[in-house]
Chain A
Amino acid sequence: MTTLYRPISDPLEFDTFGCHPFENDPATPDRTTRQVFLRRQVSDWNVNMKDGSQLQFWGFKDPDISGSDSPWPSKTIRVKQGQIFHCEFKPSKGAHTIHWHGIEPTPMNDGVGHTSFEVKSSYTYQWCAHQAGTYLYHCHKNTVLHFEMGMYGVLIIDPTTTSPDRNNPQYLYDPFDPASTTEAPGITVGAPYAAESILVFDDVDPRWHKLDHNAGMCGDDVGLDKFNPTYFLINGVHNGKTQTDTRTVTKATAGRNVLVRLANASYSKLYVTLEIDAWIVEVDGRPLRSNSAKGAFGRPKLLPKGTRLEVAVAQRYALWIPKIPRGDYRITGSFHHWVTNRKHFDGEAVARITAA
């Protein structure tokens, strides 16, 4: 019988691709004057789970804010489009990185070990977001484990202008110069909003939370092919409490616009359903609009109430609800197995928008 051999590779390269990624603390290349500066460190702590058990989590803490030692998800970062951003990152308990998910900087600032380096003790990331929208940040070291351990947070790039509509003062994105552009029909350009619901869905397999930092990296079978989540959460809130917790219930004023930002930080197929019509106005940090010179060829898409939207892992969607009528609206996330597509036991988490 014919054997299909794998290609011949250099053992040293094999080793640095996987088992021993390059660790370093370089100076930021091509460093320039910053407009935003913040710091991140690594912390670990125990989280009380729904059934009373405790599990270890890891995350990024902000050393400039006291009491931020157990952030899950890690604290949301908001910066403005066009600002030169520096983040001084000082990991501890081994090497880590920060990948600015959806942001596209140079490889040194992209936070991926095998294409650049993992941070040993200190590095200052530099980038400048050119487009407002919804992003994430997360550790990209042994990512399969570190992402599950909680090392992620939401990153929002806000536009530089504010909306002239005093009832809906915040823009999702800057409208293009009206003289030079065609915006898409269906929504008000810039998707101005008054209230915002940011929902990050996650699932937790308790077995994984007993593994250590480098688990499996050098060829051991530590069972990272088996993921059996038993906890389902939104923004770190257990599914039993998501309909009452302030982190997952958004209060809105009836008649004003609401923006919902969705992200999937689980390892499941995630289906999200809203009890109200909404417009998909942004995907993965890119507003849906149309302008050839700017390289945009989309338009907002209606997501009728009750329609299932499947959100891929680490994908983001921004949904815009114009002039929300008075009422109480559930946003339901349903978690299904990534191979069988069977719904996980207890695999549902529901957030709410209350418009009064």
Chain B
Amino acid sequence: MLRRHFLKYGSVFAAVTTASLPSLLTAKTTDLSDAASDGDADFDLEIVDVDVELIDGSVVPMYAFAPVGQPPSIPGPILRVKQGDVVRIDLRNSSTRSHGFQILGQSMSAVTGLAPHDDDGEDKVRIEFVAGLPGTYFYIDGDNAPINRVLGLHGALIVEPSNGYADGKTRKKPMPYAPTVAPACLKDLFKALGEKTINGLPARFPGKAWEPGREYVWIFNQIDPVLCRRIAAGDNLSASEFLEEFHPRYFTINGLCGLDSAHDKATCPTGHVGEPALLRTMNAGLATHSPHIHGNHVFVLTQSDAYGAPVYQDNLFEHDVWLMPPMMIKDVLLPFTMPPDLPPAPWKMAQEKYPLRYPMHCHNEISQTSAGGSYPMGLVTDWHIDGPLATG
């Protein structure tokens, strides 16, 4: 009983006092105008050992998060909350190893050294916090870093704004961020989405405004099957040994490769011209990725800081390749315009038909392989423009 008591309370610690919080983070998470919310968000998560079947049929042992009573997945389930919600995450360790849990850049509490449970279902730990600055965050098992995270224990926590409109009281231009702290250019972009004309001039983004929920999460990771097997066989690699020997052979987006990710509805963005989509891109692995999108450029809206908290960009770079070093999180906007480099009217696209299919792939092409070959069965997906701008 004593051990369980220790697990419940002793290993959950509000690790850092307010005084030692980086001032930037404090400033950003105490935006009072958006902080009021009566909402609760409760999650019940479990850590389990899994076998993962890869694109070539081979199987590697990894770890995974699962909502209690539901199948596990890598990455773990998306945890979606509203700014100001009281978030409670109960965690149970059903793996054979000890594990931890933390949300980077959001809650300062961390669970470490949570031992495997002893089957009576009682030994859960809880993390509780008030959801702060809207944006995209990593939750991970930070123990044994980076081993447990890279071996599958990572997922996205999404904080939605409680009053996310770029156009103030008019409330016709939703945005996924807190307008009170969002730089003007970020609001200007969301205000421009769906406008046919601006200041009497034809505008670039006719169609719809961005709609809440019109978004995709892309989590990148890399798998070294040799290290996965060694760890499962009981090899207690240190973090530095793992980093030294890490040699990825599979490169995943949302846990999938190649054809599988291109076919995955949650991964492959689809829509008509004029239906802008948010892409929350995250790199859980150790390699630096260079995601490259065809068909449209993207606007980089946020970039995570050293603590994992989003920094709203006050200078919007439009990229066809964006830099994703390890643990980087960038929200980018895919505007879903007609591909811009077509001949001008009166030319019409008549012989070529919708849907227009384009790839998004990492341009460090080593990541386009699996097990040393099989291009392009790596970090790639597609996106589709299903039809023209809806008129009328």
**Is the pair B319, A225 in contact by a Cβ cutoff of 8 Å?**
no
Q: Quick one: CB contact mask for A282-304 with B, threshold 8 Å, 1 for yes?
A: 01111010101111111101000
Complex CA distance for A104 and B318, rounded to whole angstroms: 14
Per DSSP, chain A at the interface is: loop
What is the minimal beta-carbon distance from B239 to any residue of chain A, in angstroms?
A: 14
**Is the pair A297, B366 in contact by a Cβ cutoff of 8 Å?**
no
**Is the pair B364, A222 in contact by a Cβ cutoff of 8 Å?**
no
Per DSSP, chain B at the interface is: loop
The interface on chain B, measured as residues whose beta carbon lies within 8 A of the other chain's beta carbons, has a size of 98
Complex CA distance for A189 and B80, rounded to whole angstroms: 43
A1: B residues at CB distance < 8 A: 48-51, 61
A126: B residues at CB distance < 8 A: 343
Assuming the A-B contacts A143-B368, A298-B316, are A106 and B321 also in contact, with contact meaning beta carbons closer than 8 angstroms in the complex? Answer: no
**Is the pair A313, B51 in contact by a Cβ cutoff of 8 Å?**
no
Interface membership of A82, Cβ < 8 A: yes
Interface membership of B40, Cβ < 8 A: no
Complex CA distance for A286 and B318, rounded to whole angstroms: 6
**Is the pair A104, B53 in contact by a Cβ cutoff of 8 Å?**
no
What is the minimal beta-carbon distance from A289 to any residue of chain B, in angstroms?
A: 11
A93: B residues at CB distance < 8 A: none
**Is the pair B382, A115 in contact by a Cβ cutoff of 8 Å?**
yes
Complex CA distance for A212 and B350, rounded to whole angstroms: 38
Most chain A CB atoms below 10 A, which of B49, B188, B264, B342: B342
A106 touches which one: B199, B243, B335, B349 (CB < 8 A)?
Answer: B349
Within 8 A of B (CB), among A178-197: 180
A130: B residues at CB distance < 8 A: 340-341
Q: Quick one: CB contact mask for B50-86 with A, threshold 8 Å, 1 for yes?
A: 1111111101010010000001111000000000000
Interface membership of B296, Cβ < 8 A: yes
**Is the pair A221, B371 in contact by a Cβ cutoff of 8 Å?**
yes
Complex CA distance for A114 and B263, rounded to whole angstroms: 12
Interface membership of B105, Cβ < 8 A: no
Q: Quick one: CB contact mask for A247-291 with B, threshold 8 Å, 1 for yes?
A: 000000000000000000001010000000000000111101010
Interface membership of B93, Cβ < 8 A: no
Q: Which of A12-20, A233-241, A348-356 contacts B (4 or more CB under 8 A)?
A: A12-20
Complex CA distance for A100 and B294, rounded to whole angstroms: 10
Assuming the A-B contacts A104-B295, A312-B290, A338-B364, are A4 and B373 also in contact, with contact meaning beta carbons closer than 8 angstroms in the complex? Answer: no
**Is the pair B320, A285 in contact by a Cβ cutoff of 8 Å?**
yes
Within 8 A of A (CB), among B294-309: 294-297, 299
**Is the pair A225, B369 in contact by a Cβ cutoff of 8 Å?**
yes
Q: Which of A37-45, A144-152, A158-166 contacts B (4 or more CB under 8 A)?
A: A144-152
A315 touches which one: B290, B325, B372, B373 (CB < 8 A)?
Answer: B290
Complex CA distance for A73 and B351, rounded to whole angstroms: 34
A-B contact number at CB 8 A: 270
**Is the pair A4, B292 in contact by a Cβ cutoff of 8 Å?**
no
B296: A residues at CB distance < 8 A: 104
A30 touches which one: B315, B341, B350 (CB < 8 A)?
Answer: B350
A286: B residues at CB distance < 8 A: 297, 317-319
Nearest residue, chain A, Cβ from B286 = A339
Interface membership of B262, Cβ < 8 A: yes
What is the minimal beta-carbon distance from B168 to any residue of chain A, in angstroms?
A: 16
Nearest residue, chain A, Cβ from B350 = A30
Interface membership of B154, Cβ < 8 A: no
A115 touches which one: B51, B263, B319, B359 (CB < 8 A)?
Answer: B359
**Is the pair A297, B299 in contact by a Cβ cutoff of 8 Å?**
yes
Nearest residue, chain A, Cβ from B317 = A283
A110: B residues at CB distance < 8 A: 294-295, 358
**Is the pair B316, A4 in contact by a Cβ cutoff of 8 Å?**
no
Assuming the A-B contacts A293-B199, A315-B319, are A17 and B262 also in contact, with contact meaning beta carbons closer than 8 angstroms in the complex? Answer: yes
List 14 A-B pairs, Cβ < 8 Å.
A2-B48, A6-B55, A17-B376, A104-B339, A104-B340, A106-B339, A127-B341, A128-B341, A131-B340, A180-B201, A224-B375, A225-B371, A292-B188, A297-B186
**Inter-chain pairs besides A30-B352, A128-B341, A295-B204, 10 sampled, C-beta below 8 Å:** A101-B320, A106-B349, A126-B343, A148-B365, A219-B374, A224-B375, A227-B366, A267-B366, A293-B197, A312-B322
Nearest 10 interchain pairs by C-beta: A216-B373, A295-B204, A221-B372, A144-B365, A29-B351, A312-B290, A314-B363, A313-B290, A293-B198, A297-B316
